[in-house]
Chains A and B, each alone.
Chain A
Amino acid sequence: MTIKYKTIKEIKKMISQKEISNKEIVQEVYKLAKENSHLNAFVTLNEDNSFKKAEDLDNNPSGSSLAGIPIAQKDLFCTKGLRTTCGSKILNNFIPPYTATVIENLENAGCISVGKTNMDEFAMGSSNETSYFGNVHNPWGEKLVPGGSSGGSASAIASGIVPAASGTDTGGSIRQPASLCGITGIKPTYGRVSRWGMIAFASSLDQAGPMARTVEDCALLLNEMCSHDIKDTTSLDEDIPNFEDDLNQSLKDKKIGIIKDLDLSTLNNDVVAIYEDSLEEFVSLGAKLVDISLPNLSLSVPTYYVVAPAECSSNLSRFDGVKFGRRSEDPKDLEELYVQTRSEGFGDEVKRRILIGSYVLSAGYYDAYYKKAQQVRRLIKKDFDEAFSNVDVIMTPTTRGPAFEMGSKGDDPIQMYLEDLFTISANLAGLPAMSLPNGNIDNKPIGLQIIGNFLNESTILNFGHMYQTKTNWHMYTPEGVKK
């Protein structure tokens, strides 16, 4: 009995039917992790604790919803006693004294956190090439990037090591790697999942969410991850539905918004064809296509690249070598302590964004950049509000193309930033959005994005699940279609 490529639902059944013990599951996870060590998906493994928890579960079986489910946690969530690097040299030695709320929620539901996954440094990147701990490889092709920043999580699922992982999404960091690795991932409404213990990149955009093989599994995970947390004042005090309840609702007469302002001509032809096939599939499920307009959508990327760096330039100020993390050796004075620690500790992309952020917030430039960006952000949000008055969901391709080769975006950050063209607007508007596999190009997976209205995760999960009952793109693995 193997758990490779199995879904959470399948593993739950295996456990309940005693086909496999919790300890055997953990053994298999680490066996698979070692077989796939070339993927570099993990920064730190959590073997001792995981075996202990599995043995406890074998001795005292638990009825918790996710009891014994192995999960990989993005190395951006603080985990008490377990090194948390955020993909950065500056946190190379950081062992947090506390655990993030979302990790606690998952562990309370019975999940076993088997390790911490590699990621772009401080979640800044779309290819996992900015990690201090080296590139993550896409299981679909040795030279391919897995996407980013939650690339380690996506790679660990796509390679079948784990059925589930946590991710975070600031501009597409769950959805883009999900698309490039052929798995399903959802960024919930901003505020659904507590940010306590999530190392901040851009606080007003960051949101944690689940990554898994199916929409159904994402719903299971999301049920446990969401909570109202008094330690995070931006966490929403709203009812949290059971996200499994509406999965099988009929899509008859439901409306899918198609953004008519979207210029698909710059996309890979195959991406467009696959996207259009998917829309046909939804029409055959009873849904209707409705043209909508999001006139300010084209401003998303520039807006994002003002707001996110601004917040990150401030959020990352605490990494100064004074209190925690890495400190440069023998600075001659305070100034040198700061300069050396931060020069040595941060990678190029992080430095670039700190510079951009400091610039757009500085006296004399604030109004032209940061303030303007905030105004545009409100307009983008308003566009979505209007669109959702008439449709249930909005669909776009998740990415402009399938996984690209490492190094292929060269030194042009703009090319890399455009990777998030379709995903960024949901973060700016705080809306829930999902990516799920909807095709294959030269044996490289590609995803469909479904954006939902505020707090309406259930609707996008419903659309996604119905699609997965009719198609088998989510069954594709690098080793062929799963039986």
Chain B
Amino acid sequence: MSWETVIGLEIHAQLSTKSKLFSGSSTEFGAESNTHVDLVDMGLPGVLPVANKEAFYKAIRFGLATGAEINQVSSFDRKNYFYPDLPKGYQITQMTKPIVEKGSIKVLTDEGEKVINITRAHLEEDAGKSIHDLFEGETGVDLNRAGTPLLEIVSEPEISNAKEAVAYFKAIRQLVTFLDICDGNMAQGSMRCDVNVSIKKADDKELGTRAELKNINSFKFIEKAINYEIERQIRLMENGESVVQETRLYDSEKNETRSMRSKEEANDYRYFPCPDLLPVVISDNELQEIKDNLPELPEEKENRYISEIGLEQSEAKIISSSKTMANMFEEASSRTDDINLVAKWLVGDVSALLNKDNIEIDESNLSPENFGKLIERISDNTISGKIAKSVLEEVWENGSDVDEIIQTKGLVQIQDESLLEDIAKKVIDSNDDQVTAYKSGKDKLFSFFVGQVMKETQGKANPKSVNEILKKLLK
């Protein structure tokens, strides 16, 4: 029997606003516990939330970029549940009137391009963090994150397999980073997702019972968790059992999902309109201004690279695949006239390193600025392409500054023609046999002499000069 998988994703993207959704506290990551917390974040008696318009503007950018409807009047609701890191005993979220509804995004799958519809994207506040392993027998609460603005992006249940789910998540991540509304940092939890998975027989019209996998924060784990879950559900169905609606937790160490709570145990969140906040109204002018200032999106970038800069489509696609990659391209291009050199390095060496380590560009140690420097040093002949490769490898390892590596390791290319000529003469003098053979017609030996000069100079000789000098001396 063949089973079809139906997957929907709820992605939480932390919006990169300076202050929190309902208070003036900073959203900076990594500060000492409970230092970015004010009266409102603590949920003290008598305090009131004031909505941060900046979060709305960022959410609207997402809406516009996904061709969605923007609700110019949107409102907040309370989702009630008890947890120590939820200071008010409720989360303020947008249940009935979200800021963004009915968008879509193109995703590249193994079967080609697919459009995934986005049901809604709404604003809500994050909770704090419970810390269980710091105090013996006690739990600590850090409220730095409490009140940080999240955009919850809910897809339609239209994703058909784990790979597609990852491709969708990647597309959303690419978009939010291009839009400059979220830093996309998965390790810091700036993007997390819940996955709804169900299976059904191919000809069934109704969806099967779904399980919700909670809080997964890496591409690798999304794929593994979904695949585990699909297998689990198929096993149940084929054994004549049924899938129960429940929330499951993915254990990445054991690669399995475990039941967290069943539908019966699920919280009744008792949603109702938050009486402390009036509906937020976005004026036509505000909306227009956001539209006018929308940054260039990946697809637009790709097209521009092809039509204006003259890159190959394959190059343009790779370079516009992420904000960081595009930034590298643009940074380096501003430092050299040789655009092809920039593209060649990104599509070639940099991409090869990414593939080797199986990481995303912004997980690497290479910064756009450092990459720009590398290209600049190649293009102004400070270092040779060969040396550049080793410099890149070192940057890749530890993120050191390109110029510093060149300086401390003495990698500056030898430009001094008379010095190179002396070395070349020495090579010719000590290789009589090869000289004779070359002169008798063995042209291929020319590269032997180049190699010897390079060896003598530890690769620092300018290859173009070496060629010219050798040609002259071996005439």
Contacts and interface: CB of A to CB of B under 8 A. Distances in A.
A272 to B, nearest CB: 36
Nearest to A84: B45
A320 B89 contact: yes
Interface stretch (A54-62, A362-370, A470-478): A362-370
A366 B84 contact: no
Given A317-B82, A317-B89, A334-B84, A361 B272 contact: yes
A316 B44 CA distance: 11
Given A196-B48, A233-B48, A233-B278, A323 B43 contact: yes
Contacts of B270: 313-314, 358, 361-363, 366
Interface in A229-281: 230-234
A234 B276 contact: yes
B237 interface: no
B65 interface: no
B43 A204 contact: no
A78 B272 contact: no
Given A313-B270, A318-B88, A231 B275 contact: no
B44 A200 contact: no
Contact of B46 (A96, A233, A322, A323): A96
Interface string A27-71: 000000000000000000000000000000000000000000000
Nearest to A335: B82
Contact of A318 (B87, B141, B276, B277): B87
Interface string B263-296: 0000010111001111000000000000000000
A193 interface: no
Contacts of B51: 233
A123 interface: no
Contacts of B276: 200, 203, 233-234
Nearest to B277: A233
Nearest to A206: B275
Contact of A94 (B45, B78, B87): B45
Contacts of A324: 42, 44-45
Given A314-B90, A317-B88, A362 B46 contact: no
Contacts of A322: 84, 87, 141
A318 B43 contact: yes
A78 B275 contact: no
Contacts of B88: 317-318
A416 interface: no
A310 B272 CA distance: 9
B244 interface: no
Contacts of A129: none
A379 to B, nearest CB: 18
A230 B50 contact: yes
Contacts of A97: 39, 44
Contacts of A72: none
A311 B77 CA distance: 12
A198 B276 CA distance: 12
B434 interface: no
Contacts of B46: 77-78, 96, 100, 195-200
A389 B38 CA distance: 45
B78 A96 contact: no
B48 A195 contact: yes
Nearest to A202: B275
B303 interface: no
A313 B276 CA distance: 14
Given A233-B51, A320-B89, A204 B42 contact: no
A8 interface: no
- Among B43, B80, B275, B277, chain A packs the most CB atoms within 10 A around the CB of B275
A93 to B, nearest CB: 13
Interface in B245-275: 268, 270-272, 275
20 contacts: A78-B45, A84-B45, A96-B46, A196-B46, A196-B47, A197-B47, A199-B45, A200-B46, A204-B275, A233-B277, A233-B278, A234-B48, A311-B275, A313-B80, A317-B80, A318-B45, A334-B84, A361-B270, A363-B268, A363-B270
9 nearest CB pairs, A to B: A317-B89, A361-B270, A203-B275, A204-B275, A199-B45, A197-B46, A78-B46, A318-B43, A199-B46
Interface of A: 77-78, 84, 86, 91, 94, 96-98, 100, 195-200, 202-204, 230-234, 310-311, 313-314, 316-320, 322-324, 334, 338, 358, 361-363, 366, 370
Interface of B: 39, 42-51, 78, 80, 82, 84, 87-90, 139, 141, 268, 270-272, 275-278
Given A96-B44, A231-B50, A317-B90, 8 more contacts: A96-B46, A98-B39, A233-B48, A233-B51, A314-B78, A318-B43, A334-B84, A362-B268
